[in-house]
């Protein structure tokens, strides 16, 4: 019983950033590395060693979501839903902060069971504001599972879903958007989508093609890619009041503008920010 390869890679990329990249760090998180406890040569893994710009994309999206969340907390949001939470460590990094915020981590039962056991082994425990929502996405409804717990649909929430849509069918994505659009008015969705290869910057195409092949070989094929106007159309059709996309160029300006180490995110992923 272990997390899937995508969750592990994401956590390792987040840790690698603060170990080998120059300061200032875009995002600091080595707790996932502690949970995984990989072999000493983990930095030499091909998916760590040759994916600098993907690493930049991972830390940028993590930083953006948590910046958005902190801003929404100031405006009274008290619920944070992470759809496909993997080895997210927001709750552990803020053990003594934002205790009025309830965090709902939704992921496969194996991943959440393993994570809970590791948190206890490392002394983090599971605070009463952290709620695990185990769901087999192939057979169960994440929405129904969330509603059966302590989640309050009448309270504003931030819902984050990063690195998930490219593994889902278009029908599953539409269903997810339709469900989130019914959350309390003023709730905010931050969801990443991947661009079709023809819309990716030329320099990034070999890297993206390598990622697609690697995902297919590991049994988690990438199947859904969308142009920005398609993403906005999906959000409007689902009933969101406001929707916009955040491009790689905007991410670069936000978090990488003055760097001198040539670290900047790959161009294949964009954010949908939508409000109910």
Tell me the pLDDT band of 77, cut-offs 50, 70 and 90: very high
Predicted pLDDT of residue 221: 83
CATH number at residue 190: 3.40.50.150
Whole-angstrom Cα distance, residue 38 to residue 199? 35
- Checking if the pLDDT of 129 tops 60, the result is yes
- Checking if the pLDDT of 220 tops 90, the result is no
Local structure of residue 166 (DSSP, 8 states): G
> Structural domain tally of the chain?
1
- Checking if the pLDDT of 228 tops 60, the result is yes
**How confident is the model over 264-268, as a mean pLDDT?**
92
Report the run of H or E that residue 136 belongs to, with start and end: none
Predicted pLDDT of residue 183: 98
* Preceding amide of 24 cis, omega within 30: yes
Neighbours of 154 (CB within 10 A): 7
- Checking if the pLDDT of 96 tops 70, the result is no
- Checking if the pLDDT of 97 tops 70, the result is no
**How confident is the model over 136-149, as a mean pLDDT?**
91
Predicted pLDDT of residue 164: 92
Domain of 270? 5-275
Whole-angstrom Cα distance, residue 1 to residue 230? 37
- Residues 6 or more apart whose Cβ sits within 8 Å of residue 71: none
Whole-angstrom Cα distance, residue 225 to residue 129? 35
Question: Quick one: tokens of 215?
Answer: 């995902």
Local structure of residue 171 (DSSP, 8 states): H
| 3-state secondary structure at position 44 | helix
Whole-angstrom Cα distance, residue 264 to residue 11? 18
Tell me the pLDDT band of 34, cut-offs 50, 70 and 90: very high
Report the sign of the C-alpha dihedral through residues 236, 6, 265, 201, in that order. negative
Local structure of residue 182 (DSSP, 8 states): T
- Checking if the pLDDT of 147 tops 80, the result is yes
Give how far Cα 86 sits from Cα of 35, 114, 151, 160, Å.
12, 11, 19, 12
Whole-angstrom Cα distance, residue 158 to residue 30? 24
- Residues 6 or more apart whose Cβ sits within 8 Å of residue 64: 190, 246, 251, 254, 255, 271
Instruction: Give the pTM.
Output: 0.94
Residue where the block lists tokens 């142009």: 227
- Checking if the pLDDT of 191 tops 80, the result is yes
Predicted pLDDT of residue 99: 65
Mean pLDDT of the chain: 93
For the chain, the farthest-separated pair of C-alpha atoms sits apart, in whole angstroms, at 49
Q: Check if the beta carbon of residue 80 is closer than 8 Å to that of residue 90.
A: yes
């Amino acid at each position: 019983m272990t997390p899937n390869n995508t969750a592990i890679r994401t956590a390792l990329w987040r840790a690698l950033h603060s170990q080998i990249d120059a300061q200032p760090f875009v995002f600091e998180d080595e707790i996932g590395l502690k949970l995984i406890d990989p072999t000493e040569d983990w930095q030499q893994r091909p998916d760590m060693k040759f994916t600098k710009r993907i690493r930049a994309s991972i830390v940028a999206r993590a930083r953006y979501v948590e910046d958005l969340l902190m801003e929404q907390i100031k405006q009274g949001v008290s619920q944070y839903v992470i759809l496909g939470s993997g080895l997210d460590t927001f709750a552990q990094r803020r053990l003594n902060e934002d205790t009025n915020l309830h965090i709902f981590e939704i992921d496969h039962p194996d991943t959440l069971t393993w994570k809970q056991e590791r948190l206890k082994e490392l002394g983090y425990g599971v605070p009463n504001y952290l709620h695990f929502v185990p769901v087999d996405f192939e057979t169960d409804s994440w929405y129904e599972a969330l509603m059966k717990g302590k989640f309050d649909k009448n309270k504003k929430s931030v819902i984050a879903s990063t690195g998930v849509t490219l593994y889902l069918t278009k029908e599953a994505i539409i269903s997810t958007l339709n469900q989130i659009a019914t959350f309390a008015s003023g709730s905010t969705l931050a969801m990443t989508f991947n661009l079709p290869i023809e819309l990716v910057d030329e320099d990034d195409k070999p890297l993206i093609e390598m990622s697609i092949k690697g995902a297919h070989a590991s049994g988690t094929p990438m199947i859904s890619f969308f142009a920005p106007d398609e993403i906005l159309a999906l959000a409007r059709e689902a009933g969101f009041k406001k929707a916009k996309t955040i491009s790689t160029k905007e991410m670069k300006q936000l978090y990488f503008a003055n760097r001198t180490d040539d670290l900047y995110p790959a161009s294949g992923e964009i954010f949908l920010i939508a409000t109910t």
